[in-house]
Chains A and B, each alone.
Chain A
Amino acid sequence: MVENRPFLNFLAHLVLILGVTIVVFPVYVAFIASSHGPNDFLSGVVPLTPGSHIIENYSTMLSSGMTSSGAPPIGPMMINSLIMAVGVAVGKIAISILSAFAIVYFRFPFRTLAFWMIFITLMLPVEVRIVPTYKVVADLGMLNNYGGLIIPLIASATATFLFRQFFLTVPDELMEAARVDGAGPMKFFRDILLPLSITNIAALFIILFVLGWNQYLWPLIITTDQSFYTVVMGIQRMAAVADAEPRWNLVMAAVILAALPPVLVIVAMQRLFVKGLVETEK
């Protein structure tokens, strides 16, 4: 802002407040809905103020779910989501950082080929190869288990590129000094490269955790056993009920629960998250 234009400032605030309202409104409505009892919707008008059934609704969803609509309790599903999200994040980071290390700090035959193979995964999101990937996973007997949920998702070109780009900015002399100091490649990796990469790893972890938690299509097709449902895909069964009107207060409680962990993570780590986002996509 160069000159002082109070009207424009006012307008800017207005726009921002409007934006925030639009962004927050659906969640507010959901939260309100989740706090009401089952009969508060029958009148046809949705209330705008919190009800008194918060504890009751949330604990019901967490523990027993809505067995009438075939929806399992949210609690176990959230644990599955947690395992999947952490597994995907850790898995992606681990194999990507090792690959980036290999590509940057070594020269070997087929290095370029390996690089392009990893690059290609950018162009193959799971939605595009869904049936054959399912078949492979099924053939390997990995349906309905955590391995099947996690492992097929952990080849990530973005993470590899990020680490590669970061490693390229690490001064050459650091590695040379370490070599003179008697450090072999893995020692160098552990003692020097890894500590320097901590910020990148943390930022990436946040993004990948959110990505892993929000996986929808993949858990949908490879889990038929309810005990392996993740929460984001499990919710669908409650909401899109064909014949009866879903029990919205419980559905909304489930929705809030399902959306909460990743939102908390990025709000708490906002700085790190923003840095990671802008860095990975550059």
Chain B
Amino acid sequence: MQTKRTVFPNKLLPYLLIAPQIFVTVVFFLWPAATAFWQSFLRQDAFGFKTNFVWFENYRRLFADPIYINAFGHTLIFAILVTVLSTAIALLLAAAAMRVLRTSRIYSTLLIWPYAVAPAIAGILWWFMFNPSIGIVAYMLRAMGVSWNHLINPDDAMTLIVIAATWKQISYNFLFFLAALQSVPRSLQEAGAIDGAGPVKRFWTIVFPLISPTTFYLIVINIVYAMFDTFGIVHATTQGGPARATEILVYKVYFDGFIGLNLGSSAAQSVILMVIVVALTAVQFRFIERRVQY
């Protein structure tokens, strides 16, 4: 692993320096993760007296449970929609901002602040706007003849959380796309123009391929965001409803663990989520060379 060519000779000091982080990591990250892992192989009996080691029984039950499969499906749909929408819109905005470079500072300021808004608050804002009785968007929809009720209609509820999650994530993607677009050498665009390509053609054939590392990186990050950071959106608004239509995996882990008190199942779900995160992080590090060199 990379170090400096000269290091300090102290033997004890480095351990002292690294101790706080290792301590917190072990106590609050590694130990709970290990506990979850262990607990996923246990099952309490109906009266809560005895705990049995049941191997992969919890996992088997999960994957046989239509509700869990549903949650999986919802999560997948949710993640894909949010990722595609927020990256596409952000790319469009970033490309537009590049075109009007001089004023782009103002647009940037106006577009990046949603990053600072908590997902839960984003959820509440859109929940309010779509409120069937007093929400302004609901009002406009009704005026156009579209009926809307996210309290009853599962698709409407899913649409709501997708919009809220996308709205918040656009600014993050916008920032990265803008930085990436600005790093494409102008000379390449000029060469393309001389070669007879118009701006739109140039964008898709020259610029877009060149920013593909950023695009790829953002896709992975967005998927992680959609899967894990959106707990607040669901909990603050639909709470998984109506009829579990918006129950995404990260919400289910909480619900089954804290409300349902089904520890074995919640632990198994945690482990499954861990595997997913590990896979996504591995992909991110493997294919995106710009990361830390070892």
A contact set with B: CB distance below 8 Å: 1-3, 5, 8-9, 11-13, 15-16, 19-20, 22-27, 29-30, 33, 41, 44-46, 48, 94-96, 98-99, 101-108, 111-112, 114-115, 117-118, 120-125, 127-137, 151-152, 154-155, 160-161, 164-165, 167-168, 172, 175-176, 179, 184-186, 188, 210, 213-214, 216-217, 220-221, 232-233, 235-236, 239-240, 245, 248, 251-252, 255, 258-259, 262-263, 265-267, 270, 273-274, 277-278, 281-282
Contact = CB atoms under 8 A, between A and B. Distances in A.
A278 B121 contact: no
Contacts of B278: 123
A240 B239 contact: yes
A252 B267 CA distance: 37
A75 B35 CA distance: 38
A235 B101 CA distance: 39
B144 interface: no
Contact of A131 (B101, B171, B266): B266
B107 interface: yes
Contacts, number: 329
B58 interface: no
Contact of A235 (B30, B35, B89, B121): B121
A239 B124 contact: yes
Contact of B32 (A22, A105, A135): A135
A128 B270 contact: yes
Interface in B77-132: 89, 92-93, 95-101, 107-122, 124-129, 131
6 residue pairs, one from A and one from B, having the closest CB atoms: A214-B118, A132-B32, A262-B116, A216-B232, A106-B14, A102-B17
Contact of B175 (A127, A167, A235, A278): A278
Contacts of A12: 95-97, 99-100
Given A12-B96, A41-B134, A172-B6, A2 B193 contact: yes
A281 to B, nearest CB: 7
B104 to A, nearest CB: 8
Main secondary structure of the interface of B (DSSP, over half): helix
A35 to B, nearest CB: 14
Contacts of A137: 28
Contacts of A248: 128, 131, 134
B274 A124 contact: yes
Contact of A106 (B2, B8, B39, B237): B8
Contact of B237 (A3, A161, A213, A240): A240
B277 A131 contact: no
B25 A258 contact: no
A267 B115 CA distance: 10
Interface string B223-245: 00000110110011101000000
A262 B115 CA distance: 9
B118 A2 contact: no
A188 B31 CA distance: 35
A29 B129 contact: yes
B3 to A, nearest CB: 6
A23 B129 contact: no
Contact of B30 (A1, A117, A172, A258): A117
B189 interface: yes
B167 interface: yes
Interface of B: 1-8, 10-11, 13-15, 17-18, 20-22, 24-33, 35-36, 39, 89, 92-93, 95-101, 107-122, 124-129, 131, 133-136, 139, 167, 170-172, 175-176, 179, 186, 189-190, 193, 199, 202, 217, 221, 228-229, 231-232, 235-237, 239, 250, 253-254, 257-258, 263, 266-267, 270, 273-274, 277-278, 281, 290-292
A217 B235 CA distance: 9
B133 to A, nearest CB: 6
A129 B36 contact: yes
A29 to B, nearest CB: 6
Contact of B270 (A131, A175, A216, A217): A131
Given A120-B30, A274-B175, A127 B231 contact: yes
A114 B24 CA distance: 12
Nearest to A17: B107
16 contacts: A1-B99, A2-B189, A2-B202, A19-B93, A105-B8, A121-B25, A127-B253, A128-B270, A130-B258, A131-B266, A155-B29, A216-B119, A221-B258, A232-B118, A233-B120, A262-B118
A114 B33 contact: no
A30 B237 contact: no
Contacts of A265: 116
B75 to A, nearest CB: 12
Nearest to B5: A172
Nearest to A11: B96
A273 B95 CA distance: 21
B77 to A, nearest CB: 19
